[in-house]
Amino acid sequence: MRTAQLIFLGVGAGARLGGRVSLAETVTTTHVFDLSGVPDWILILGGTLAAATAIYIVMKLLKWTLWLLFFAVLAGGLAWAFWELAK
């Protein structure tokens, strides 16, 4: 019970830890996937498809971003021209 209280309170009286306990304990787990039983051609095909999909998504996002930038510059320039005309 005392250990649980120290973890939640964040302060410990033990000399081992220098008089303090961190606010939370860190739990690290490592997951390892053994792909040695999978044929090489399946791994290569899967990696190729994943990379191609990622490149395709980046291309589409870049295209949309450039179109938005184009229209923003066009609208801003027209608005500035009309503002100068109205002055």
User: Residue 36: what pLDDT?
Assistant: 86
Euclidean distance between the first and the last CA atom of the chain, given in angstroms as a whole number: 77
- pLDDT by residue (tens digit) across 4-46? 555 555 554 455 555 565 565 666 778 888 888 999 999 999 9
For residues 55-79, average pLDDT: 97
Domain positions in the chain are: 2-25+45-86
Does the reported pTM lie above 0.85?
no
| Cα 67 to Cα 79: distance, rounded to the nearest angstrom | 18
